[in-house]
Amino acid sequence: MSDKFRVEAFDILQHLFEVTKVNDHTLHFKAQFDSQIDLDCLKKAVHLTSEAFPLVCCRFTEIGGHARWVKEQCDINSILSFIETAIPEENAEQFMLQKIDAFHAPQLKIGLFRNKERDTLCVLINHMLCDAAGFKDFLSLLSSTYTRLFLEPNYIPLSVIGGREVNALMKSYSKTDKRRMILYKNNKKLHGCDANFACEGNLDNPFIAVKTISKERFQKIKTYAKAQHATINDVVLTAFIRTFYTCQGSVISVPCTMDLRKFMPNHKANGICNLVTNVICDIGIEMGNTFGETLFKVKKAMDKAKTDVAFLSPIAKLNLAYRHLPYRATKYIVKKVFSNPTVAFTNIGILDPTHLTFGNTTMVSAFMTGSIKYAPYFQLALSTFREEMTFSVNLRGTSNDYEKIDRFLTVLDHELISAEQGEL
């Protein structure tokens, strides 16, 4: 196997988000089990998985006008930490706040925290390697490898290094569509696109603020969404917009992460990678008086945005630049084309427990969240596991920022109660 790998366009994009102090390009996953998993089996699964996806044991390099992933030797102890502790939650919380350094291997960190009854597992991965959907693919590979090793001690997973390029997505579009994407210019002024959550920021104090919605409440929200012919994502966006108005006094346009795998054959990428873009939910200057009125405007805006291939314009330009221009020129274009919104929302989606099976243990709770932002950037993330929704906001900020974000999540919680009660 080669000791050097291509750096893809999205890798550069996430690298520049760290360079320009948007976010620290580290994705986070945390889970609790009902019992203890086999440490030796986990070590072997981590080793085999890192060989199947060798980028986790690489360092990012920029030399002579080129960028490469360069393979390094990774000792299992540099990836996996194991701690027996009476306070697993505190240890896990601190572990989750670590930052992955792209210029030094590994690009993956795993922490297993054990008390007398059960284990807590934390996994961090460099966002340059994958988005949340790619991270879920990696976790599925890790868990399936662990489980297979119980039955087949000599099992070796297949390589997942291929198919990371953006061009695979572009191949599914006609020349006319691609020309339209390349030539598209967004001259529309979005209302509230320059909104700011006005956090103070503190580079030395990262935190992840979390709010969980129970399964029972989730079912009520789901029923309400279905009755309004809307998605749960529409309902959450509605709550987000109304919460921001309550906390900041302005109606905003919300950039929402869209997984582009839905436009790929079989709705899957060919490898573990980044493959996302933003769709803008712009409801205009008037929010509406009730939750139901705002939801109607959100659904209409999202339905329209998702049917226009123009939202793929930045991806098409990124792909064209990366395939035909020198690395330095591509970096320059990326900075110009991809302006990161100060306020955003990402729905990571469902964490499927059937794809997160570690032998005979049961994963009883889990959530995934994105990178830790630098002020003034603010992102609300949502993931769902066993029909429990977990909202999170990550920031390097002050104690005042944490309190402000905690209040935001409390107001968001109250807004969702309107959906649970079927407010029109």
The reply to whether 139 and 205 lie within a common domain is no
Residues 6 or more apart in contact with residue 153 via CB below 8 angstroms? none
The reply to whether 114 and 218 lie within a common domain is no
Asked if the model's pLDDT at residue 423 lies above 70, the reply is yes
Residues 6 or more apart in contact with residue 413 via CB below 8 angstroms? 211, 213
Asked if the model's pLDDT at residue 194 lies above 80, the reply is no
Higher pLDDT, 165 or 136: 136
Higher pLDDT, 329 or 38: 38
Asked if the model's pLDDT at residue 191 lies above 80, the reply is no
pLDDT score of 34: 96
Which residues lie across from 29 on neighbouring strands? 123, 368
pLDDT digits (tens, 9 = 90+) for 384-411: 999 999 999 999 999 999 999 999 999 9
pLDDT score of 385: 98
pLDDT score of 190: 57
The reply to whether 134 and 222 lie within a common domain is no
Asked if the model's pLDDT at residue 424 lies above 60, the reply is yes
The reply to whether 125 and 254 lie within a common domain is no
Q: What's the burial of 307, exposed, middle or buried (CB within 10 Å: 0-12/13-18/19+)?
A: exposed
pLDDT score of 137: 96
User: Has residue 156 been placed in a domain?
Assistant: no
Place 266 in a pLDDT band, splitting at 50, 70 and 90.
confident
Q: Which of 151, 182, 212 is the last residue of a domain?
A: 151
pLDDT score of 192: 54
Residue range(s) defining the domain that contains residue 134: 4-151
Q: If we measure between CA atoms, which residue out of 182, 191, 218, 422 comes closest to residue 310?
A: 182
Q: Which of 91, 120, 151 is the last residue of a domain?
A: 151
pLDDT score of 361: 95
Q: Which whole number is the average pLDDT over 352-357?
A: 96
Percent of the chain with pLDDT over 70: 97
Asked if the model's pLDDT at residue 172 lies above 80, the reply is no
User: Has residue 185 been placed in a domain?
Assistant: no
pLDDT digits (tens, 9 = 90+) for 296-316: 999 999 998 887 777 788 888
User: Has residue 11 been placed in a domain?
Assistant: yes
pLDDT score of 187: 60
pLDDT digits (tens, 9 = 90+) for 202-230: 999 999 999 999 999 999 999 999 999 99
pLDDT digits (tens, 9 = 90+) for 79-122: 999 999 999 999 999 999 999 999 999 999 999 999 999 999 99
- State the CATH number of the domain containing residue 115: 3.30.559.10
Place 317 in a pLDDT band, splitting at 50, 70 and 90.
confident
Q: Which of 151, 182, 211 is the last residue of a domain?
A: 151
User: Has residue 199 been placed in a domain?
Assistant: yes
Place 1 in a pLDDT band, splitting at 50, 70 and 90.
low
Place 186 in a pLDDT band, splitting at 50, 70 and 90.
low
Place 22 in a pLDDT band, splitting at 50, 70 and 90.
very high
The reply to whether 114 and 208 lie within a common domain is no
pLDDT score of 85: 95
Higher pLDDT, 364 or 171: 364
The reply to whether 201 and 144 lie within a common domain is no
Mean pLDDT of the chain: 91
Contacts of 144-153 with C-beta under 8 Å, sequence gap 24+, read 144/355, 144/357, 145/45, 145/48, 145/49, 145/52, 146/37, 146/38, 146/41, 146/42, 146/45, 146/358, 146/359, 147/357, 147/358, 147/359, 149/41, 149/44, 149/45, 149/48, 150/38, 150/41, 150/359
The reply to whether 251 and 328 lie within a common domain is yes
pLDDT score of 2: 67
Structural domain total, the chain:
2
DSSP string, 147-191: HHHHH-TT--PPP--S---THHHHTTS-HHHHHHHHH-------T
Asked if the model's pLDDT at residue 245 lies above 90, the reply is yes
pLDDT score of 70: 96
pLDDT score of 327: 85
